[in-house]
């Protein structure tokens, strides 16, 4: 039996520091036929030289040097490029430039996705072990027991990492039919698969997620509970000071406007209630008591914070 073919989509930008280690870990994936398609987003360091060197030595690596458009549009462009690849591809995967993949990452994903209905979008994600710039372990991305996700949680929490995602062609096609304008590429793909197909989550870590000063999202935690020691100060910031990192309601409306015809009736009602929750008392009451809107990480205090976010219209 032939190994599944996985086309890995990587966007790079000034990534010379960690790029070689990441590419080596992708090329070392076991049990799959891996191919790497890289779009460089206007790097000014030695990133393109490194990519050129690897492409000259490995026939399964292709890279394109492009203008800077930002990481979301860069990954969207990669999806378009991937759909134009003529050789057969079984699955696609997003990759960051600075992580390290464990050898079984892609094979585990392919095993979970193989056999699913090709007419629907399907996504695989996993936990990760966080490391610092020197490779020292910091801790799991998802700590504690396996998160308990519901559809309401998907609308509020954009916590699944794009660099963990492996998906089928139908997911890529639906993504390509409407690129996100108000959110990130991975959150958009997660919505597509969760509401229109399926998402499989693997709680054991399958890659090392590197946190350092140049992470693309390193400074976007103003609306989260990170970066502040005092819980009181953090909660105050979230409820009254900082704007949400993601405009959840606006993004949900964008998703609904494009995909409502593909949703079943219960999911349409869920999104319709969520979209008006800032102004509708009835919708707020529904969200407060609905089984769909729970805090997925078993933290009672942050679960209460979610309820305050609903009541205060800060979603």
pLDDT in tens, 265-282: 999 999 999 999 888 898
CB 255 within 8 A of CB 246: no
Asked if 315 and 248 touch (Cβ cutoff 8 Å), the reply is: yes
Interatomic CA distance for residues 129 and 108, integer angstroms: 16
Residue 134: count other Cβ atoms within 10 Å of its Cβ: 7
Dist CA 220 CA 142 (whole Å): 18
Say what angle helices 281-289 and 265-275 make with each other, to 10 degrees. 120
* Residue 101, C-beta contacts closer than 8 angstroms, at least 6 positions apart: 22, 25, 26, 28, 29, 95, 206, 207, 208
pLDDT below 70 — which residues of the chain?
A: 1, 158-159, 214-246, 295-305
Structure tokens given for 61: 């690596």
Residue 13 near residue 43, CB atoms below 8 Å: yes
Instruction: Please tell me the distance from the alpha carbon of residue 102 to that of residue 84, in angstroms, as a whole number.
Output: 28
How far CA 305 is from CA of 224, 227, 246, in Å, comes to: 11, 17, 16
Tokens of 22: 């990441």
- Helix 248-259 vs helix 265-275: angle between axes, to the nearest 10 degrees? 140
Q: What pLDDT is recorded for position 309?
A: 74
What phi and psi, each to the nearest 5 degrees, are found at residue 162? -60, -35
Q: Return the pLDDT at 300.
A: 62
How many C-alpha atoms does 273 have within 13 Å on its Cβ side? 21
pTM of the model: 0.88
Contact predicate 71/216, CB 8 Å: yes
Distance CA 188, CA 183 (A): 7
Which residues, listed in sequence order, are joined to residue 207 by a DSSP beta bridge?
A: 101
Pair 4, 90: CB distance under 8 Å: yes
* Cβ–Cβ < 8 Å for 62, 36: yes
d(CA 314, CA 305): 11
**pLDDT value of position 217:** 52
pLDDT at position 103 is 98
Residue spans of beta strands (DSSP E) within the chain: 5-12, 33-41, 61-66, 91-95, 100-101, 122-131, 137-140, 166-167, 198-210
Size of the chain, expressed as the number of residues it contains: 315
In the structure encoding, which two tokens stand for residue 26, read together? 């992708």
pLDDT at 36: 98
DSSP3 helix / strand / coil % (the chain, rounded to 5)? 40, 20, 40
- Determine the pLDDT at residue 46: 98
| Beta pairing partners, 202 | 126
């Amino acid at each position: 039996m032939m190994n599944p073919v996985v086309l890995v989509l990587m966007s790079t930008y000034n990534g010379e520091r960690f790029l070689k280690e990441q590419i080596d870990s992708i090329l070392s994936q076991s049990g799959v036929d891996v191919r790497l398609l890289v779009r460089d987003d206007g790097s000014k360091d030695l990133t393109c030289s490194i990519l050129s060197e690897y492409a000259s030595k490995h026939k399964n690596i292709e890279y394109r040097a492009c203008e800077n458009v930002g990481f979301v549009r860069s990954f969207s462009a990669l999806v378009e490029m991937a759909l134009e690849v003529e050789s057969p591809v079984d699955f696609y995967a997003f990759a960051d430039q600075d992580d390290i993949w464990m050898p079984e990452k892609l094979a585990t994903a392919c095993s979970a996705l193989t056999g699913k209905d090709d007419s629907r979008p399907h996504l695989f994600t996993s936990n990760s072990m966080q490391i610092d710039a020197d490779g020292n372990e910091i801790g799991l991305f998802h700590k504690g027991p396996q998160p308990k996700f519901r559809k309401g949680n998907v609308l509020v929490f954009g916590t699944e990492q794009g660099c963990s995602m492996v998906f089928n062609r139908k997911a890529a096609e639906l993504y390509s039919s409407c690129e996100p304008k108000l959110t990130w590429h991975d959150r958009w793909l997660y919505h597509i698969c969760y509401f229109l197909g399926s998402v499989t989550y693997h709680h054991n870590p399958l890659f090392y997620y590197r946190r350092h000063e140049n992470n693309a999202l390193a400074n976007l935690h103003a609306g989260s509970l990170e970066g502040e020691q005092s819980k009181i100060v953090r909660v105050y910031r979230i409820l009254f000071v900082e704007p949400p990192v993601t405009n959840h309601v606006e993004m949900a409306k964008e998703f609904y406007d494009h995909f409502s015809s593909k949703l079943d009736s219960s999911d349409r009602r869920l999104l319709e209630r969520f979209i008006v929750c800032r102004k509708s008392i009835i919708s707020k009451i529904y969200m407060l008591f609905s089984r769909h809107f729970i805090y997925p990480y078993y933290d009672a205090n942050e679960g209460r914070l979610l309820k305050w976010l609903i009541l205060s219209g800060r979603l």
